Amino acid sequence: MGTDCSGLRHGVALGVLMLAAGPAIAQQQRSPAPPATTDQVVLDQITVQGEHEAAPLVQGPTTTTTTRTELDRQQVQSLTDLSNRVEAGITFNRQNGSLNIRGLDGARVLTTIDGIRQPFLIDTRLSRAGANAFDFDSLSSLDLLRGGSGGATLGGGALGGALAVRTLDPEDIIRNGRSYGALAKTGYDSTDRAWFGSAAAAARMGGTSVLLQAGFRNGHEIDNRGSLNSIGATRTAPNPADFNQYSFLGKLYQQLGEAHRFGLTAELFKRADRVQTRTSTVSLTGNFRPGSYRTGEDVERNRVSLTYDYRQPGGFLDEAHANLYWQRLKRNDLVNAWRYTSIVGPYARDNENEENAYGFNAYGVKSFQTGPASHRLTFGTELRMSTLEQYSSGVDNCPPRPASGSYTGAFTACNNLFTNQADQPKVDGRLVGLYVHDEIGLLDNRLRLTPGVRFDWYEEKPQQTPAYSLGGSRPAGLPPSSSESGWSPRIRLEYDVLKNAPLVKDVTLFAQWAKSFRAPTADELYGRFGGPSTYLRTGNPLLRPETGSGVDAGVRFGDKQLGGSVTYFYTNYRNFIEQLQTQAPGVGGLYPQGGITSYRNIPRAEISGVEATMQYAFAPNWLVRGSFAYTRGKNTTDHTYLNSIPPMQGIVAIAYGTEVWGAELSTKLAGRRDHVAATAGTNAGFKAPGYAIFNASAWWRPLPQIADLELQLGVYNIFDRKYFDAANVPTGVLAQARDYYSEPGRTVKATLKYQF
């Protein structure tokens, strides 16, 4: 069992005080003379966040940007890596396949790839989805927006925040004034015993540039600190698993003059996981036995897009960007098994969700002056059409369903086997978004006021199909369409208290208020699984969109040599969507096993907290950095805690780097998570103890003047600590012994990279 660090909460708080006090300590340690210039510290050789701007539509005081260089330096190849080494307060929830920002996850966090929104496809039968269908080695940068202010530009879904990733361009590979370039990387990660590799090549010929990039990753199950290899509910070791992942990215650009650029992008991502189940689903003498129950998950994303970029400062528009795309995301959840006692014979399922989407995104930027005020006006649109289809195919030894609709006698168990049907109707989706915001600069641009607003209209329209209408859940006709419109206003105020000061350089106070919303998913509206004599899980087509109204206020100071930020946030949410039991088991005699579960809107919930970051290059080649996050959330309707809220967290690191070699030592700290709500069948949700894990990494460039060859080695969780990521543990009854949900112990990652 994990050790309970009862005093760690105070340790994390002390770390935050040290971060906040950093500027004052630095001022005391420095002489009254002006500080040394930035170029005396070799900052380019160590990780410094914030040196690149975020994408225009996610820029703001609550956005952090991680560049390709930083991802490589921290050996970040997953969202879990990002949360453990770079960004405190976020986590990747492997239970539902989503990123958690400010205590919200699932469809409440929007993911975009090159500005294209990614759907959160939920499998009705497993309550899982997946929004991470991309390869980290194909990324140019990653923008993390905390809070709902992205709703004013990105639109619905950015309730808790947004993850906006940008893929590589030829300019990321071609360097030093050349007309060509290449990048290759390979390595091994003991976390999942994975070998990985990627390669990219780019060339420029006149006004034409091209990029080709491909990557792969092959491995096994993610390690944990469980050691019991038993069969059934007592097992704590992970299920044996294998996975194969590969991706391809191609880009072609044609520059016409200095102002116009046209582009074509093609992208493919595919991952296949296969798991040998040895946990509570199987037993040595039961219906499913070890070696005869395998599960799997296939995720595939395809994208083709045409882009247009215009830049001509001082023209009718300073810049304009457009993206016309087609995207398909397909997810298959698989079971391949053999039953030994009930309905002896094969049992297989392939639950498929597939969305095809066509869309058009565009925005323009214009700067102008009106009297003493400067303006930077940004306006744009998002248009999207989609078709979502779900189908569960499979085989078993059940005879045709009798006319009564329920099996009896020896075939009673067949009442639970619903296959070759759709669990929801085909759904046609429409989305129209229009937005505008204006950054108004006053007092020589020291005071900036940025009002903005976005209007959204969406419609989810179910379509009748025989696979749905003839399903075992006996749907009575077609559910109604779900359609709603809404406004997402935002206003931001920034004031530069200090400009080019001798010690801390710039100090900026900021405050912003924003509204956001999230439309119900197709599963929440129309999912329908189960049937007579068993149970029923059903959607609610009358659900209202979730909405948020939040404020952020804080201070941003310094630069990449000495700088940071502190932010306080509070958001009030309405119409929070939650699942509940609407009919108890056995009531009316139709659903004796599990009754009926559906969805409802909770009138009110709230989330608040504090976030802080800091970095200090205190000596030539040296840097200390840190981040901190504390979040608290409640369902204020029922006066219960939200179990998606992570504990207080902090990351502190110290790094040294030259042109030849460098190293970093870091720690990830987390307090206890004991503010949890009761869930079905338990007295309370999962209470996670606090923890501290330590990481170390080093890199070496043997011949920097001749070749950009780099070897990197990282050791993570050095002391093999047993710990639990609270947001990554199921919220209901735990099917396995506690240690099954622990995180990996000591792991090692080695990478070799070459670029020219």
Three-state SS string over 189-217 comes to ECCCCEEEEEEEEEEEECCEEEEEEEEEE
Residue 694 CB burial class (10 angstroms; 0-12, 13-18, ≥19): middle
In the predicted model, what is the mean pLDDT of the chain?
89
Rounded Cα distance between 711 and 485, Å, is 52
Q: What pLDDT score does 734 carry?
A: 85
Residue 731 has pLDDT above 80, yes or no: no
Across 666-675, average pLDDT: 92
Q: What pLDDT score does 570 carry?
A: 97
Across 538-553, average pLDDT: 95
Rounded Cα distance between 144 and 718, Å, is 28
Beta bridge partners of 721: none
- pLDDT per position as a tens digit, 573-600: 999 998 888 888 877 778 888 899 999 9
Residue bearing the bigger pLDDT, 684 or 477: 477
Rounded Cα distance between 259 and 262, Å, is 10
Residue 16 has pLDDT above 60, yes or no: no
Least trusted range by pLDDT, from 33-47, 250-264, 596-610: 33-47
Rounded Cα distance between 25 and 614, Å, is 13
Residue bearing the bigger pLDDT, 44 or 209: 209
Residue 25 has pLDDT above 80, yes or no: no
Residue 380 has pLDDT above 50, yes or no: yes
Q: What pLDDT score does 232 carry?
A: 93
Across 399-416, average pLDDT: 83
Across 29-47, average pLDDT: 44
Q: What pLDDT score does 39 carry?
A: 42
State the Cα torsion 120-474-463-466 to the nearest 10°: 110
Residue 67 has pLDDT above 80, yes or no: yes
Contact 494, 59 (CB under 8 A): no
Across 341-365, average pLDDT: 94
Residue 160 has pLDDT above 50, yes or no: yes
Residue 733 has pLDDT above 70, yes or no: yes
Q: What pLDDT score does 591 carry?
A: 86
C-alpha distances out from residue 229 to 225, 279, 498, 677, 747, Å:
12, 9, 60, 31, 20
Residue partners of 665: CB distance under 8 A and separation at least 6: 653, 654, 655, 694, 695, 696
| Residue ranges of domains in the chain | 8-396+426-755
Residue 10 has pLDDT above 60, yes or no: no
Q: What pLDDT score does 416 carry?
A: 85
- pLDDT per position as a tens digit, 108-131: 999 999 999 999 888 777 766 666
Q: What pLDDT score does 121 carry?
A: 86
E strand or H helix at 506, and its extent? Answer: strand 505-518
Across 194-209, average pLDDT: 96
Contact 739, 1 (CB under 8 A): yes
Contact 132, 92 (CB under 8 A): yes
Which pTM was predicted?
Answer: 0.90
Rounded Cα distance between 167 and 68, Å, is 10
Least trusted range by pLDDT, from 129-138, 424-433, 738-747: 129-138
Q: What pLDDT score does 684 carry?
A: 62
Rounded Cα distance between 67 and 709, Å, is 19
Q: What's the topology of domain 8-396+426-755?
A: Maltoporin; Chain A (2.40.170)
Residue partners of 476: CB distance under 8 A and separation at least 6: none
Highest mean pLDDT among 127-141, 149-163, 351-365, 640-654: 351-365
Across 254-266, average pLDDT: 96
Across 513-517, average pLDDT: 95
Residue partners of 176: CB distance under 8 A and separation at least 6: none
DSSP assignment string, 335-359: EEEEESSTT-EEEEEEEEEEEEEEE
Contact 282, 313 (CB under 8 A): no
- pLDDT per position as a tens digit, 43-64: 556 655 544 577 888 888 889 9
Residue partners of 432: CB distance under 8 A and separation at least 6: 381, 382, 383, 456, 457, 458
Band of the pLDDT at 24, cuts 50, 70, 90? Answer: very low
- pLDDT per position as a tens digit, 426-441: 999 999 999 999 999 9
On the CB side of 635, CA atoms within 13 Å amount to 18
Least trusted range by pLDDT, from 48-52, 343-347, 553-557: 48-52
Rounded Cα distance between 258 and 280, Å, is 63
Q: What pLDDT score does 128 carry?
A: 65
What token pair was written down for 461? 């329209």
Band of the pLDDT at 401, cuts 50, 70, 90? Answer: confident
Across 196-211, average pLDDT: 96
E strand or H helix at 749, and its extent? Answer: strand 747-755
C-alpha distances out from residue 503 to 51, 440, 555, 624, Å:
19, 28, 16, 17
Q: What pLDDT score does 38 carry?
A: 38
Across 530-535, average pLDDT: 86
Q: What pLDDT score does 45 carry?
A: 62
Across 208-218, average pLDDT: 97
Q: What angle do CA 364, 367, 371 make, to 5 degrees?
A: 145
Rounded Cα distance between 337 and 576, Å, is 38
Phi, psi of 222 (to 5 degrees): -75, 130
Residue 17 has pLDDT above 60, yes or no: no
Band of the pLDDT at 15, cuts 50, 70, 90? Answer: very low
Across 12-33, average pLDDT: 36
Buried b (16+ CB within 10 A) or exposed e, 135-172: bbbbbbbbbbbbbbbbbbbbbbbbbbbbbbbbbbbbeb
Contact 284, 290 (CB under 8 A): yes
Across 141-149, average pLDDT: 93
E strand or H helix at 332, and its extent? Answer: strand 319-339
Least trusted range by pLDDT, from 567-571, 642-646, 677-681: 677-681
- pLDDT per position as a tens digit, 566-578: 999 999 999 999 8
Residue 292 has pLDDT above 50, yes or no: yes
Please state, for a pLDDT cut of 70, what percent of the chain lies above it: 91
Q: What pLDDT score does 29 carry?
A: 36
